Amino acid sequence: AQSVTQLDSQVPVFEEAPVELRCNYSSSVSVYLFWYVQYPNQGLQLLLKYLSGSTLVKGINGFEAEFNKSQTSFHLRKPSVHISDTAEYFCAGSLIQGAQKLVFGQGTRLTINP
Amino acid sequence: DTGVSQNPRHKITKRGQNVTFRCDPISEHNRLYWYRQTLGQGPEFLTYFQNEAQLEKSRLLSDRFSAERPKGSFSTLEIQRTEQGDSAMYLCASGQGAFYEQYFGPGTRLTVT
């Protein structure tokens, strides 16, 4: 079955520390991958996307992600986090070539401690 | 650019009642999606429109659920005979052309008592 898996349900880090949120996908065809952020009681905001080309993609708020086809991963990183980064982060993919729907992971709750 | 808007933001209803939600996509976006998100989970796809045509429906969309997008602009999602299991956040998203990214609205939180 095609799926997106986020390996950590919760990630606590201290402010100004680096963070990595892990995401793996399962697909036998080309994929388009996304990271979204969701603040409490709000919708999802697009952080970054991988469609093709360079495997290192940069997004908003200082986040970046690296597409690794051999490891079927798309991990999200930030070198130094702020309190304001506290939120739920979702990895998503359009896993079937030509399909329009997004398949989401279960989410990772990032908590930044002062 | 006003973004995707959804109304109402919150809806509390009694079991067995019908509810209708509205989504207004970003202007000129021809693709519109509905997702459902339950507590602690990622959103799950419900249905997709390209212009006014409903092109895909999930198995999650039982016969109590119906979605429309008349004239290819706003969309409505109706749930008939609501059940407690329908309690969730209903998210709408829109997209344009060949680009796969989707832009989400703030959602409608439904509580069925």
Task: Choose among B31, B35, B101: nearest Cβ to A49.
Answer: B101
Please report residues of B whose CB lies closer than 8 A to that of A4: 42
- Helix, strand, coil % (nearest 5) of chain B? 5, 50, 45
Alpha-carbon gap: B104 to the closest alpha carbon of chain A (Å): 6
B71 DSSP 8-state letter: G
Interface of chain B toward chain A, CB-CB under 8 angstroms: 4, 6, 31, 33, 35, 40-45, 48, 50, 55-56, 58, 91, 93, 95, 100-107, 109
CB-CB under 8 Å, A44 with B43: yes
State residue B40's pLDDT score: 87
- With 90 as the cut, is the pLDDT of residue B79 above it? yes
A42 DSSP 8-state letter: S
Measured CA to CA, the distance from residue A58 to residue B17 in angstroms comes to 46
Taking residues B10-16, report their average pLDDT: 98
pLDDT tens-digit readout, A48-99: 999 888 899 999 999 999 999 999 999 999 999 999 999 999 999 986 666 6
State residue A45's pLDDT score: 95
Instruction: Locate A108 and state its tokens.
Output: 């990772």
State residue A56's pLDDT score: 95
Three-class secondary structure of residue B72 per DSSP: helix
Please report residues of A whose CB lies closer than 8 A to that of B101: 34, 46, 49
Which contacts qualify for B41-49: CB closer than 8 Å, 24 or more apart?
B41/A106, B41/A107, B42/A4, B42/A90, B42/A92, B42/A104, B42/A105, B42/A106, B42/A107, B43/A44, B43/A90, B43/A102, B43/A104, B43/B91, B44/A104, B45/A101, B45/A102, B45/A103, B46/B77, B48/A100, B48/A101, B49/B75
B98 pLDDT tier (thresholds 50, 70, 90)? low
Taking residues B78-107, report their average pLDDT: 91
pLDDT tens-digit readout, B44-59: 999 999 999 999 899 8
Instruction: Locate B39 and state its tokens.
Output: 């507590």
